[in-house]
Amino acid sequence: MRWIKGVLRIKEWQKKERARELEQLRARTQALKEEIASLEERMAELERIIKQAFSFEKLIEYKSLLSKKNELERALEELEREAEKKKDELKLIYKDIKAVEVVKGKLEMERRRKEFSIEMQKANLLHLIKKLLVFLLVFPLTSFDQSALQKKIKAKNEAKVESELKAVSKELEEKLKKLEEERKKLEELKRVEPKKEEVSPDFQKLIAIFNKADPDEAGAIMNNMDPNLAAEILLNLKATQSAAILSSMDAQKAAQVSQIMARKKAQFKKAP
């Protein structure tokens, strides 16, 4: 789960950066609007003056202000387009954060479900053991002489106990087998090695996040990530981004991940 926290930390940083950039653009946009409004007031005043008493000097000033106004309006349009772009980026970041939080929630729920399942199976095993003890207490073996009828009853009871014990033993073995399978699944879950066919949409979102992330930040996160997962992510990133992240990682971890990547690439080439 540490790598998910790392991804969320990156997205939170990106969110703050985009929000700060958007606020700066809005401030610059407002300043330009105020400057344009000031120019328009002066131009309106010059129009009145020129109409009352024509002057080349005022006309030249008017044309100069008009040219400046047109230039500012073009700059304003550019700022507004940039602001819209930042708003769209901010929306995508919010979506990414929500997607990662959903993945985090699913993994947490699955982990709890597995742990609960194991606890329940342990409780069932205890119940079976108690049941076994009851059989042993109810039908104790005796060493004193018995009549033919008693021996017959004893033999019948022993046969019944043996049958019950076999059934209980079989059930116990099945429970133990299931418990071992659940334990292995839980270990796999804790290693968080996603299979593409199971988490493809979420994994693609994760790829998009790392493609946009700062390489140093991403490298720090991958230092704490399972090497197989890190290799899988890097193989799906843009080549330049993948190389930048690898170079920012711990040397030993980077070497380990690089070996896994090379092995996976070789497997891809061998695949029909």
Predicted pLDDT at 27: 93
The pLDDT averaged over each successive group of 10 residues in the chain (272 residues) is 74 87 92 93 90 86 91 94 90 86 79 76 67 57 50 64 63 68 67 47 78 85 84 89 89 88 78 53
Q: Supply the DSSP string of 99-160, one letter for each residue.
A: HHHHHHHHHHHHHHHHHHHHHHHHHHHHHHHHHHHHHHHHS----S---HHHHHHHHHHHHH
Predicted pLDDT at 6: 76
Distances (CA, A) of 253 to 3, 104, 227, 246, 259: 15, 24, 8, 9, 10
pTM of the model: 0.46
